[in-house]
Structure 1
Amino acid sequence: MIALDKTLTFRRGLTLKNRVVMAPMTTRMSFYDGVVTQDELKYYSLRTGEVGAVITAAANVQEGGKGWEGELSVSSDQFIPSLSQLASTIKRNGTKAILQLFHAGRMTDSKILRGVQPVSASAIAAERPNAEIPRALAEDEIFGLIEDFKKATQRAIQAGFDGVEIHGANTYLIQQFFSPHSNRREDQWGGSLEKRFNFINQLVDAIIAVVDNSKVKDFIVGYRFSPEEYEEPGINMADTLYLIDRLADKKLDYLHISLGDFKKVSASEDFKGKSILQYVHEKINGRVPLIGVGDIRTKQNAEETLTNAELVAVGRSLIIDPHWTSKVMEGKEDIIRRVLADQDREELVVENGILEFLKIMMPDRLR
């Protein structure tokens, strides 16, 4: 069993002081234009310093990729100063700062985009209430999107982050290219499983090239994925095992699964013998570290996760108690806050494993 306090060094040289990372969780705390706020800095400051790394909330790489109000942005150089503040706030007491890069794709709407139609791999609406039909991206736009992810990576380097995480999970645009539900294309970007992987393949290679060509030291690149979709047709476990098999052979520093429960079992009849996490970990077979996640509340939960992962991401427990990590490490679990006051509980929504703040929650309102 891997000890929680054991260090981990990635292929690009960055070392984490322990095996706990703060999961990426949407805060809705940024200004309307994507600039980091003081409230946002306070939120991260409260929860850093003890974990090995903090993965930020999603930051859009294009204005048209904005998914919700109060979202971080890394879509232009104007955001570098406030992102630098965010990185330096997180990087306290040896904690590393990782910026999550994303594009919402069809999981946004024209109101959020100020009258602009959302885009996706194909003109297929999401299966959710009031979902708008997106516009299918033209091929030149797809190459332009890859360029914007590259520019966002360079800005993360300039802002002082220790790495980027490519957000290929939770039904956003990168996942939309891989999904047979949202991708009905018949060109090089869709059709067969291999062609649905083409966008991810080119995007990951492009981002890795930016990092390697920049000569920056100890800067890592990770990739987050969701293993299954409920839509028919949708991503299934066989698709995901293909995806991670291809990704594990790339120069990525880690893979990060998105799960609501680390013990979750697949919906597919062919994959019910083990947990999803175990199937994924076995497929990776030591080629790249895996971050496990999903309702981690206790030290035992974290240690169980590390039987099928190299790192464990903690989300809700760090919202409720910002010092969860140190209390677990020091054997003081009896004093960990476990619940929110009623008024706080009403302000939180859990969706797709992401904890979203509807209002700013300060620690003196916790019990």
Structure 2
Amino acid sequence: MQERKYTETLTLNNGVTLKNRFVMAPMTTKMSFFDGVITEDEKRYYQMRSKEAGAVITAAANVSEGGKGWEGELGIYDDRHINGMASLASAIQHNGTKAIVQLYHGGRMTSSSVLRGTQPVAPSAVKAERPTAEEPRALEEDEIHQIIEDFKAGTVRAIDAGFDGIELHGANTYLLQQFFSPHSNRREDKWGGSREERFRFIDRLVDEVISTVNQHSDKPFIIGYRFSPEEYETPGIRFEDTLYLVDQLAYKSIDYLHVSLGSYSQVSQSEEYKEKPMLAYLYEQIAGRTAFISVGDVRNGAQAEEALEHSDLVALGRVILADPHWVGKVLNGKEDAIRYNVADEDRAELGLTNGVWQFMQNMMKDRLS
């Protein structure tokens, strides 16, 4: 029997080796305290889902107080978060699983109520196209530089807390994506304009984070970047823009690129890119320069193999919430024992509280089986 690709190890650009090709995707938990300090429930939730996967990527941790997107969000914007984050890293790092914390800023995708009366900020004063969206305030030049410094400081805290790496959250319409999007970025200074100019913030941020890691980490430290390939707004990011984005990023000293998709077989909305799934085009564009993580409704080992035809690693979302031992069961040929459906009475056993349970209820509508 031919060995499955998902059982193989993968050595990243920086020399760190992942024990298999499965990664737990970053998913909102809403479990932290009001000030971003992690709770025991949250640590238990992650520890339960580590051990077997090659890496676990945490939910988004805001690097700036003004970047908080929702209640119960992880914080990494102050040194008081380091001790809790250290205990989280340790909770994940069982049996060689790598612990990666996702760093982010919500930009306009928050509200003044979450920010305790402060107006959200964004590249430009343009509301998101969603119900109840508030008009953000356009960032000043010095504030843009400060947010870059906040990402650097968050990276140092992740290093000090003992994490194996960080993922820069440039997906799901948050601040990094807002700078690249022609919908949210209407600036007329050097931070906006053409596609190349809208990329400037990401370009500067990634270079500064790479430099920060080189200065502060005494061992190989993973740097990843997550992105969403398309926007439906007009104007908005189109797939051609994203091919430019990943091409630019793949030249940098980062260890992986991570797409955010609802389905690993998803096809672009752009007419010129409909012959193959978006994964295939992205994998070709990256061309082995860095690792590529796929994601999107992978339910079993066969689908994981399909996703890995056009990626190096596959991220797991809903299935690993329903069954924390999904990875172990797939690796050991026990897929018939996987649990896909979760009842209310299973919540405590699975550590599913608050926002995670809301996510699971949405999953149940799809009836994974």
Is the TM value for this pair above 0.5? yes
User: 1:10/1:336 Cα in 2 relative to 1: closer, same or farther (>3 Å)?
Assistant: same
Alignment of 1:136-151 (within 5 A): 136-151=138-153
Match of 2:165 in 1: 163
TM-score by length of 2: 0.93
Tell me if structure 2 keeps the 8 A contact 1:29–1:360: no
Match of 1:74 in 2: 76
Post-superposition offset of 1:283: 0.6
What is the distance in 2 between the residues matched to 1:137 and 1:358? 35
Match of 2:207 in 1: 205
User: 1:117/1:156 Cα in 2 relative to 1: closer, same or farther (>3 Å)?
Assistant: same
What is the distance in 2 between the residues matched to 1:109 and 1:310? 37
> Quick one: which amino acid aligns to residue 17 of structure 2?
T
SS in 1 for 2:225: strand
1:357 correspondence with 2:356: yes
Tell me if structure 1 keeps the 8 A contact 2:112–2:118: yes
Aligned partner (choices 302, 317, 320) of residue 318 of structure 1:
320
What is the distance in 2 between the residues matched to 1:154 and 1:8? 25
Post-superposition offset of 1:216: 2.3
Alignment of 1:260-279 (within 5 A): 260-279=262-281
Match of 2:220 in 1: 218
Give the total of aligned pairs.
353
Tell me if structure 2 keeps the 8 A contact 1:164–1:221: yes
Structure 2 residue ranges without an equivalent (≥5): 348-353, 361-368
Post-superposition offset of 1:358: 4.8
Aligned partner (choices 88, 103, 106) of residue 104 of structure 1:
106
Structure 1 residue ranges without an equivalent (≥5): 346-354, 362-366
Tell me if structure 1 keeps the 8 A contact 2:31–2:355: no
TM-score by length of 1: 0.94
Post-superposition offset of 1:3: 1.4
Tell me if structure 1 keeps the 8 A contact 2:165–2:223: yes
> Quick one: which amino acid aligns to residue 24 of structure 1?
P
Match of 2:350 in 1: none
Match of 2:366 in 1: none
- Runs of 4+ deviating beyond 4 Å: 342-345, 358-361
Tell me if structure 2 keeps the 8 A contact 1:2–1:307: no
> Quick one: which amino acid aligns to residue 307 of structure 2?
T
User: 1:285/1:359 Cα in 2 relative to 1: closer, same or farther (>3 Å)?
Assistant: closer
Tell me if structure 2 keeps the 8 A contact 1:2–1:306: no
Deviation track 1:231-255 (CA, whole Å, cap 9, x = no partner) reads 0000000100000000000001000
Alignment of 1:230-245 (within 5 A): 230-245=232-247
Post-superposition offset of 1:215: 4.0
Tell me if structure 1 keeps the 8 A contact 2:186–2:192: yes
> Quick one: which amino acid aligns to residue 296 of structure 2?
G
Between Structure 1 and Structure 2, the one with more helix by share is: 2
1:229 correspondence with 2:228: no
Deviation track 1:222-271 (CA, whole Å, cap 9, x = no partner) reads 00000000100000001000000000000010000000100000011111
> Quick one: which amino acid aligns to residue 306 of structure 2?
E
Match of 2:133 in 1: 131
What is the distance in 2 between the residues matched to 1:120 and 1:327? 43
What is the distance in 2 between the residues matched to 1:271 and 1:360? 31
What is the distance in 2 between the residues matched to 1:122 and 1:360? 31
